Amino acid sequence: MRLHAVRTSVPTPNRERWQPLRAGLVDLFYYDYQEFWFRDGRLMLRGNNGTGKSKVLALTLPFLLDGDISAHRVEPDGDPGKRMEWNLLLGGKYEERLGYTWLEFGRITEDGGTAYLTIGCGLKAVAGRGIADRWYFVTPLRVGVDLFLIGPSGTALTKDRLTDAIGTEGYVTQKVELYRRAVDEHLFHLGPERYDALVNLLIQLRQPQLSKRPDPERLSRALSEALAPVDPAVITDIAAAFHDLERQRDELASLRETRNHVARFLDRYRHYARVAARRQAEELRLAQSAYERTGRDLSAVREEIDQARAEQQQAETRLEEIGGALAELTATREELAARPELKSLEDAERYAKLATEAAGSAARRAEEAVRTRDSRKAKRDEAARKAEASRTRVTERLGTAADAASRAGLGLEHAELVER
């Protein structure tokens, strides 16, 4: 199939991290144009032995992350006889051939949209010259949607035509270092050293039969070979750190011993401090008890003083009252003694008796007068009521008589008679 028309159905990402969506080969190996779709970032290739499953992986991953066309890095078994130009010329079937291998990634953006990145490598081989040219590209364009690696004539694009097709939407370079840096900056953000270690690890882990018959030593060796050499500066820092760790361990042991000595001293000092505190506290308790007892006695004395002052005040008031009464009695006695009619006690008693009798008689006469006044007032009120009733009856009868005289035609005579 030679594809140069717009595809209407392509896979889309389903998570926010970059994930592979499609891989493709154009005029490479026995493929004219072939796409391999991933599902949830995974790819499964099925087929009989010799159908090219390993070749597809060799030409896509991890080659498109590495960019090195050396046989020991491209081929899973590292066979130096399997050169890259064979994948184009097929052992003399072609004199000259140009092809592409590409890989598409996608992710969901923060605003809910989608982002895509296509990385790939163009290769040109000529019989007798091997790989005559190679170039790499990185672009957000999608193969078969807005980027076509096969032109209308049905042939793969040259480097110049690919550069024109991508335009400002990405770039094309022949320097593998720039290509690797661009892939890392777009997909991983690891930096040169960590990115190299990642690619080397992938190359070692994809060795054939590595997981079918696990060999711990072989796996350890593969992982060790995948790691980049440790920087001498890092080793120096680690050595210094270990030296500091040993010194800190000694200091820690010394501090622990000091802490134990201090703990033992603290136990003995606590016992001494408790004894001393009890002694000083006993004196303090005695002084406090004496102070509280003195305070209670002082309060009692103050209450007695206040009570004595109140009683003294009452006694003085009573004394003043008795003195006043005594003065009055003395004056009365002197006044009575000065009167000639009270020269003797018998005369005084006789006059007192006469006065009492006279007072009783006067009281009786007063009561009789009050009763007489009340009786006369009652009679007067009764007479007034009777007079008012008589006046009312006379007025009514005069009115009746006037009406009768008027009806009889004697009204004038009746009026003259009444005036008389």
Confidence tier at 187 by pLDDT (50, 70, 90): very high
Residue 218 located in a structural domain:
no
Give the pLDDT score at 380.
63
Of 189, 213, 242, which residue is a domain's last?
189
Give the pLDDT score at 335.
76
* Residue 210 · residue 166 · CB < 8 Å: no
Q: Across all residues in the chain, what is the average pLDDT?
A: 82
b/e per residue 238-276 (b: at least 16 CB within 10 A): eeeeeeeeeeeeeeeeeeeeeeeeeeeeeeeeeeeeeee
Of 263, 295, 327, which residue is a domain's last?
327
Closest CA to 193 of 138, 223, 220, 231: 231
The stretch 129-144 carries a mean pLDDT of 96
The stretch 335-350 carries a mean pLDDT of 66
Count of domains for the chain: 3
276 and 408, same domain (yes or no): no
Q: What is the CA radius of gyration of the chain?
A: 70
169 and 267, same domain (yes or no): no
**pLDDT at 97 exceeding the cut of 70:** yes
Burial grade of 135 (CB within 10 A; 0-12, 13-18, 19 or more): buried
Name residues whose C-beta falls within 8 Å of residue 78's C-beta, 6 or more positions apart in sequence: 71, 72, 207
Residue 216 located in a structural domain:
no
Instruction: Report d(CA 299, CA 291) in Å as an integer.
Output: 12
Q: What is the pLDDT of residues 193-203, one digit of tens each?
A: 889 988 988 88
300 or 149, which is more confident: 149
Q: What is the pLDDT of residues 237-281, one digit of tens each?
A: 888 888 888 889 989 999 999 999 999 999 888 888 888 888 877
Q: What is the pLDDT of residues 367-419, one digit of tens each?
A: 666 576 666 667 666 666 766 666 676 676 667 766 766 776 666 765 666 56
Residue 182 located in a structural domain:
yes
Give the pLDDT score at 50.
78
Residue 310 located in a structural domain:
yes
Burial grade of 380 (CB within 10 A; 0-12, 13-18, 19 or more): exposed
Closest CA to 23 of 12, 39, 34: 34
Residue 390 located in a structural domain:
yes
Residue 195 located in a structural domain:
no
266 and 388, same domain (yes or no): no
105 and 245, same domain (yes or no): no
35 or 376, which is more confident: 35
24 and 116, same domain (yes or no): yes
395 or 225, which is more confident: 395
Give the pLDDT score at 1.
46
Helix (H, G, I), strand (E, B) or coil at 36: strand
264 and 119, same domain (yes or no): no
Query: Residue 271 has which token pair?
Result: 């016992």
Containing structural domain, residue 313? 230-327
32 and 178, same domain (yes or no): yes
Instruction: Report d(CA 151, CA 154) in Å as an integer.
Output: 5
Confidence tier at 53 by pLDDT (50, 70, 90): confident
Give the pLDDT score at 296.
82
Confidence tier at 346 by pLDDT (50, 70, 90): low
Residue 333 located in a structural domain:
no
* Residue 88 · residue 94 · CB < 8 Å: yes
Confidence tier at 219 by pLDDT (50, 70, 90): low
pTM: 0.54
